[in-house]
Amino acid sequence: MSTNTVELHRVLKSTADRVYRAFTTRDAFAKWLPPNGFIGTVHEMDSRVGGRYRMSFTNFTTQHSHAFGGEYLELEPGKRLRYTSAFEDPNLPGQMQTTVTLREVFCGVEVKIKQEGIPAMIPAEACYLGWQESLELLAKLVEAEIRD
């Protein structure tokens, strides 16, 4: 079975720690990961190597929902995350793997994301579009400087 891979690169005006926490904090993940038009719900998140997460995206217009989850394979705070994902829908078989690499740069943090094993029936262009929308939301979350 053929699968797709996408790779993304961004520089955010933030810190590696904040970006890392956006991937490993339940409410933050639910806020930024769902692309435009979807609501995210994190049902489970155990952010440790060997820990699992499960979440769903619900289409705001149709209310159709799809769930997915996986396992954390590598967690290096402020530097790197690697985790698996699998859809619960049997029509979207296989296991994906996402690797996130963070590197502090003079103007913020460089973020590199590689998602492999995307089911062939999901066009790579759709994944790129979804990730681009998600990364815009991630930037809004981690670049904000709000002082209490």
Domain segments of the chain: what residues?
Answer: 3-143
Q: How far is CA 70 from the centre of its chain?
A: 12
pLDDT digit string, tens, across residues 57-85: 999 999 999 999 999 999 999 999 999 99
pLDDT digit string, tens, across residues 8-46: 999 999 999 999 999 999 999 999 999 999 999 999 999
Q: What is the pLDDT of residue 1?
A: 58
How far apart are the C-alpha atoms of 148 and 121, rounded to whole Å?
46
pTM attached to this predicted model: 0.93
Which stretches does DSSP call E strand in 46-95?
A: 52-59, 65-76, 80-87
Task: Please tell us whether the domain made up of 3-143 is placed in CATH 3.30.530.20.
Answer: yes
